[in-house]
Amino acid sequence: MNDVFHIWETDLTTSATGDLAFVSGSTLGQQRVLRRLLTNPGDYIWHTDYGAGLGGFVGTPANETHITATIRSQIFREAAVARTPEPAIDVQVSSAGALSTVYVNIQYTDSLSGETQMLTFSVSS
Assess whether pLDDT exceeds 90 at residue 110.
Answer: yes
Burial 10-30 (b: 16+ CB within 10 A, else e): eeeeeeeeeeeeebeebebbb
**What type of residue is 13?**
T
Q: Is the dihedral of CA 64, 56, 48, 51 positive or negative?
A: negative
**For the segment 34-75, what is each residue's pLDDT rounded down to a tens digit?**
889 989 999 988 989 899 998 887 777 768 899 999 999 999
- Domain 3-124, CATH: 3.10.450.40
pTM: 0.79
Residue 89 has pLDDT above 90, yes or no: yes
Give yes or no for a contact between 81 and 87, defined as CB atoms under 8 angstroms apart. Answer: yes
Q: Give residue limits of the domains in the chain.
A: 3-124
Comparing CA positions, the residue from 65, 37, 34, 31 lying closest to residue 50 is: 37
Q: Do the bridges between strand 88-96 and strand 116-124 make them parallel or antiparallel, or are there none, so unpaired? A: unpaired
- Judge whether 71 and 88 are in contact, CB under 8 Å: no
